[in-house]
Amino acid sequence: MPASAHIIALDVLDVRFPTSEQLDGSDAMNPEPDYSAAYVVLRTDAGDGHEGHALAFTTGRGNDIQANAIAALAPFVVGRPVADICDDLGGFARSLIHDPQLRWLGPEKGVIHMATGAVVNAAWDLAAKRAEKPVWRLLGEMSPEQLVDQVDFRWLSDALTPADALEILRRAEPGRQERIDLLLERGYPAYTTSPGWLGYSDEKLTRLAREAVADGFAQIKLKVGATLEDDIRRMRTAREAVGDGVRIAVDANQRWDVQPAIDWMRRLAPYDPYWIEEPTSPDDILGHAAVRSALRPIKVATGEHVANRVMFKQLLQAGAVDIVQIDSARVGGINENIAILLLAAKFGVPVCPHAGGVGLCEMVQHLSMFDFVAVSGTMTDRVIEYVDHLHEHFVDPVRIVDGRYVAPTAPGLSAQMHPDSLKRYAYPDGPVWADRV
């Protein structure tokens, strides 16, 4: 490696999968998604063969907007010493997020924030590969002080101070090694959304739900919110298929206003839904609090569209959620997700990540495993979403055994795709799209 290696390129690829043709991934607000990745590669002149790979997830149209936004961050990254970035990922994330001109585009939300998150995550992938560790383990072996340095506490101090964070992390220090060993031995529990897409017939729902239970899953999820009578029938069908011992979560993907969410869910209540996910606008903190209060003991979950740590802070302060659903590609990268994990731990609320997309399972497993090792210290009532498509495109795909994520051991963030997949699904010129567009 040269005495001082530098980042020499930030490459961006627009990669799309024509998932809408199968109705995989269809829900009440996303009837025909083409799961897509605005894919980023950081390249260096270190000569060690390591690159940083990560992605922002979108559902098709607009993936070019997202890719353009990532590309526009190149001047903030290219030319910087690799060590400056990889040895101070907290500082690197803050340097992108607090650029005084770019921040107008958010601030810290939407396209610009997801672009930042993708670049920050690519830097973590690079740092972990250089350290020869999977990201969950790189994080899980940092000292509490090092972890606190990763976090941007701006706007959090009324709920979480650096001292609070340090206390949480120190409390979880004893037993880290046992928990690492336990993860390597037994993995982390998953639930599956694969049976429950709206486009599926009742027969397919029944078959997939039974297969899920047979495969060891203790929780499945159904999409709801299109037609009440259909939802009642599908919920009953699913309950009959899996029996009483399996949790069934339902997910409305923001379909309802506040009172309609309450009314609709009361009709599904006889079939014992475990949580209602995204009952209304992801921005509606007070709305979620009203829904939760009306529907107790049905739990309320949200997060995949929650823009940043300030929104999560308020969902927790307002008692609006029972379940925090972090997403690996929505917020400003791993650093902001560490802040969100710490907030959830401070409020004692379990984290059950969102992962329905492409590459989201691969990336987010690292965060839940890190949380188990070094933050909450528990897997109780915690599950990572699992959706069973598109994993074949990844170099180090997630592996599910007996309904649990196997802890990854390969260095990095697991987001790297096969070169052939990147080529075939390139939009609009790759062979998969050339005929379709």
Which runs of consecutive H residues, i.e. helices, occur in 243-284?
258-268
Distance in angstroms (rounded) separating the CA atoms of residues 403 and 192: 8
Tell the smallest beta-carbon distance from residue 316 to a second copy (Å): 10
- 3-state secondary structure (DSSP) of residue 106: coil
Number of residues that bind a second copy (CB under 8 A): 63
Q: How far is the CB of 35 from a second copy (least distance, A)?
A: 10
- The residues that bridge with 220 in the sheet, in sequence order, are 192, 248
Q: Which of these ranges, 120-128, 206-214, 250-258, 402-410, lies near a second copy under the rule CB under 8 A?
A: 250-258
Q: Which token pair is 211?
A: 């297969």
d(CA 264, CA 253): 14
Q: Distances from the Cα of 240 to the Cαs of 116, 298, 387, 403, in angstroms?
A: 44, 19, 22, 20
Beta bridge partners of 11: 41
User: Which of 15, 96, 112, 361 touches a second copy by CB under 8 A?
Assistant: 112
Q: Could you tell me the two tokens for 273?
A: 């839904």
Active-site hit among 53, 109, 313, 354: 354
Does 108 bind a second copy (CB under 8 A)? Our answer is yes
Closest approach of a second copy to the CB of residue 20, in Å: 9
Write the CA distances from 127 to 28, 43, 262, integer angstroms.
39, 12, 46
Residue 258 contacts a second copy per CB under 8 A: yes
| Residue 424 C-beta: closest distance to a second copy, Å | 21
Our finding on whether 323 is near a second copy (CB under 8 A) is no
Q: What are phi and psi of 424, to 5 degrees?
A: -65, -35
Asked if 43 interacts with a second copy (CB under 8 A), we say no
Q: Which of 220, 216, 221, 246 is nearest to 403 (CA)?
A: 216
Instruction: Note whether 15 and 422 are within 8 A (CB).
Output: yes
Choice between 190 and 358, CB closer to a second copy: 358
Q: Which stretch binds a second copy (CB under 8 A): 1-9, 94-102, 226-234, 376-384?
A: 94-102
Token pair 């607000």 is found at 29
Residue 283 exposure: Cα atoms within 13 Å on the Cβ side: 2
Structural tokens at position 398: 């997630």
Task: Annotate each residue in 139-178 with x if it binds a second copy (CB under 8 A) or - if it does not, as one string.
Answer: ---------------xxxxx--------------------
* Whether the Cβ atoms of residue 89 and residue 54 lie closer than 8 Å to each other: no
- Provide φ and ψ at 405, rounded to 5°: -70, 130
Helix (H, G, I), strand (E, B) or coil at 64: helix
| Residue 72 binds a second copy, judged by CB under 8 A | yes
Stretch that binds a second copy, among 184-192, 308-316, 399-407, 409-417 (CB under 8 A): 308-316
User: Which span sits near a second copy by CB under 8 A: 55-63, 88-96, 339-347, 405-413?
Assistant: 55-63
State the residue for tokens 């909450």. 376
Nearest-angstrom CA–CA distance, 82 and 214? 47
Beta carbon of residue 209, minimum distance to a second copy (angstroms, whole number):
26
Q: How far is the CB of 305 from a second copy (least distance, A)?
A: 6
Distances (CA, A) of 123 to 5, 54, 360, 363: 14, 8, 17, 13
Asked whether position 290 contacts a second copy by CB under 8 A, the answer is yes
55 contributes a contact to a second copy by CB under 8 A: no
Residue 91 within binding range of a second copy, rule CB under 8 A: no
Instruction: Give the nearer residue to a second copy in terms of CB position, either 179 or 288.
Output: 288
Cβ atoms of residues 365 and 136 within 8 Å: yes
Q: Is 254 in the site for a second copy (CB under 8 A)?
A: yes
**Residues 423 and 393 sit within 8 Å (Cβ to Cβ):** no
Q: Does 280 bind a second copy (CB under 8 A)?
A: yes
Q: Indicate which single residue of 318, 395, 406, 410 sits in contact with a second copy (rule: CB under 8 A).
A: 318
133 given a catalytic annotation: no
Q: Which is nearer to a second copy, 30 or 416 (CB)?
A: 30
| Known catalytic residue at 354 | yes
Catalytic residue selected from 133, 221, 223, 313 = 223
Query: Residue 80, interface with a second copy (CB under 8 A)?
Result: no
The least distance separating a second copy from the CB of residue 8, rounded to whole angstroms, comes to 22
Q: Would you name the residues annotated as active-site residues?
A: 223, 354
Give me the residues that bind a second copy (CB under 8 A), please.
29-34, 57-62, 64-66, 68-69, 72, 99-115, 154-158, 254, 257-260, 280-287, 290, 305, 307-308, 310-311, 313-314, 317-318
